[in-house]
Amino acid sequence: MAEDLDEITGEVIKTTNMSKGFSNPCVRCGKERVVLRIWKERVYDSVVENTETICPDPECQKLVNKDNKKLKDRYTALKLKSEQRAVHRNQLRNLSKVKKRKS
């Protein structure tokens, strides 16, 4: 971060280098992430450009991947349980409708 002096007010203004445009720090160590690969894919009528970034520290990236996998597995299990409950709920609802028709 650089400091400049405002010519009109004489106040110090802090400026950042905007050549990169954004910051993408690692969630574990805070180092600036590096681009692993860039690819384009078509989604309906649009072309989407994806960028995969990784931590420059391989050991840190392994830990990040491990944490991400654990979270993904947890959310997948929760989604599966939710879908199973919905199916069970619909089966009970349909069963009660059939019983009402028979009576």
Express each pLDDT in 19-37 by its tens digit: 557 789 999 999 999 999 9
Residue 13 is predicted with a pLDDT of 59
This model's pTM is above 0.85: no
What Å distances lie between residue 24 and 12, 15, 28, 46, 59, CA to CA?
Answer: 27, 18, 12, 25, 18
Q: Mean pLDDT in the chain?
A: 86
Q: Tokens 């960028």 belong to which residue?
A: 51
Nearest one of 53, 59, 23 to 39, comparing CA atoms: 53
Q: How confident is the model at residue 97 (pLDDT cuts 50, 70, 90)?
A: confident
User: Measured between alpha carbons, how far is 38 from 24 in angstroms, rounded to an integer?
Assistant: 15
User: Measured between alpha carbons, how far is 73 from 70 in angstroms, rounded to an integer?
Assistant: 5
